[in-house]
Structure 1
Amino acid sequence: MFHDRLRAGEPLVGGWVALSDPAIAELTAAEFEFVMLDTEHAPNSTETIANLVRAVEAGGSVPLARAVDNDVGAIKRLLDVGVRGVMVPMVESDAEARRAVEAAKYPPEGNRGVAGTRASGYGRDLDSYFETANEETVLLVQIESANGVDHAEAIAAVEGVDALFVGPADLSATLGCFRQFDDSRFTDAVETILAAGEATDTPVGTLGATPESVERFAAMGFDFLVAGVDQTHLIRGNQEIRAAADRTLRES
């Protein structure tokens, strides 16, 4: 089961989908163990995410989603449409991590509201879903700031936090070295987060937008990775094929 594999720190590789077309989600799902669907920096409604979840499932992968923020309603609505886990951005303290856990878990572990939704077969399987959801859905929290780094071990130690996730763009920006991933301020922060994960037996992942950054982050010791973003793949692919066409036309 995916939740067991993530919690065990298996070297999982996922894809990232920000665009709203279900075909893109389905294509992405065919290549990865999980797909992260974005609502924080993408204009995806709950209805759109529900259709993307269906597409990821059709593609044979596990749908996860990033919430717009650490909000009980945002987290609840994502879980209700059937994602198998939620990632919460910009978590900076153990108190914020506990708030995310409470939003993601049914009582007595949390305060997630109960209803017959897609996640429970629209209510047909509500009893069994209620019994298993706390165990089988995962919660990832993002460390994206200096404050988050300072409290990384306390965050990782919160019961119900299944994984930490480094947001490299925001983390480097808040540290004053935007996208300078070889800068010591960034690498030292990553080492602190990885140490927090090791101390608490909590896996740590990140996102590499290009093959080069995937290789760089893998070498730093992350447990799992998101490899690329849908829109970046489109940009890179279009640029590469255009460059090949230009070269061929000049040479002919």
Structure 2
Amino acid sequence: MTEQSSDRDFRTRFKNGDALGTWISIGHPMIAEAAARAGFDFVLVDTEHSEISLETVAELTRAAAASPDDLAVIVRPAWNDPVRIKRILDIGVDGIMVPMIDTPDAAEELVRATRYPPDGDRGVASGRAAGYGQNFVEYVKSEHRSLITIAQIETPTGVDNAREIADTDGIDALFVGPADLSASLGVFAEWDAPELNDAIDSVLTDGATAGIPVGTLTVREADVADRVEQGFDFLIAGKDMTTLIEQGERIRDTYEQSDAGRS
């Protein structure tokens, strides 16, 4: 399978709600390789709340491309900033997920940051995304449109505008940021709060009406089935640091129980 056909295949599966990702905040290529070997369809590389640099994003992207199984890379920038966005996209990632998209205007600004003129404001360059110039013309004319563009819904304003955001041409998916949304609703980390679940249901309905998938993050394996039952189309399941810490705690508990049994 060629790289271009692989990209199209992932985009199709993603837009059909048939993709499972995992969250990366550790900037080492082995984490991407491990995600591929575990069978994930994509990784979400977080540069909003981590120390991951642009150079590290490039190394993670190369590791994903070289992995034994197809692994797509979606990156979250720190903000809806066209300068940050174009530098990430020039690396040749598969998509971008932008936080705090609250209005249709913000959604349109996001899409314009991913598109070349006359449809957008992205500066033209012959970086890795364009094969370092080998498929420069084709990429600028059409191939850049295969990028997946995800708008994060994280505030009451975003919830209220979710239908219009979802209807924005070029927005491929919505993503409910559970921590920020719960905080903005005044019920931080109260995952069963009616206010939070009503807001989630509203976004799910708006996404379905607009015909685009809606996803969320579930940090722990035990919550995956509940999120699927709730109606989310795709999940980013597990976070590298949380998985390492909690698995380490389980190993430590097992050791201490075994050691206590010997005493």
Q: What TM-score bracket applies, with the shorter chain setting the length?
A: over 0.9
Provide TM-score, normalisation by structure 1: 0.97
Task: Output the amino acid matched with 1:46.
Answer: L
1:107 corresponds to which of 108, 113, 117:
117
CA distance in 2, matches of 1:132, 1:16: 29
CA RMSD between the two structures? 1.1
Other structure's SS at 1:111 match: coil
* TM-score of the superposed pair, with normalisation by structure 2: 0.93
Q: Partner of 1:162 in structure 2?
A: 172
Query: What does residue 28 of structure 1 align with?
Result: 35
What is the distance in 1 between the residues matched to 2:236 and 2:224? 8
SS in 1 for 2:235: strand
What is the CA deviation profile of residues 41-96 of structure 1, one whole-angstrom value per residue up to 9, with x for unaligned ones? Answer: 11111101000111122223011101110000111011101111100001100000
The counterpart of 1:122, out of the listed 129, 132, 152, is: 132
| Residues 22-31 or 159-168, more deviating | 22-31
Residues 89-100 of structure 1 mapped to structure 2, 5 A cutoff: 89-100=99-110
> 43, 54, 61: which is aligned to 1:53?
61
Q: Counterparts of 2:217 and 2:143 in 1: how far apart (Å)?
A: 26
Once the two structures are superposed, what CA deviation does each residue of 1:113-149 show, in whole Å capped at 9, x if it has no partner?
1101011111121112113334311100100111110
| Distance in 2 of aligned mates of 1:229 and 1:72 | 27
Give the aligned residue type for 2:55: E
Q: Distance in 2 between matches of 1:4 and 1:12?
A: 10
After TM superposition, give the deviation of residue 212 of structure 1 in Å: 2.0
Measured in 1, the distance between the counterparts of 2:112 and 2:32 equals: 29
In the alignment, residue 11 of structure 1 is paired with which amino acid?
A: D
- Whether the 8 Å contact between 1:207 and 1:214 is mirrored in structure 2 is no
Q: Report sequence identity in percent.
A: 42
1:11–1:225 Cα contact (<8 Å) kept: no
Structure 2 segments unaligned to the other structure (5+ residues): 1-8
Question: Within 5 Å, which residues of 2 pair with 1:64-79?
Answer: 64-79=74-89
Q: Is the 8 A contact 1:37 1:66 kept in 2?
A: yes
Question: Helix, strand or coil: the match of 1:122?
Answer: helix
The amino acid that maps onto 2:56 is T
Q: Does 1:2 align with 2:10?
A: yes
Q: What CA distance in whole angstroms lies between the structure 1 residues aligned with 2:146 and 2:12?
A: 8
Q: Which residue of 2 aligns with 1:18?
A: 25
Answer yes or no: is the 8 Å Cα contact 1:19–1:230 preserved in 2: yes
SS of equivalent to 1:97: helix
Which SS does the other structure have where 2:142 is aligned? Answer: helix
Structure 1 unaligned blocks of 5 or more: none
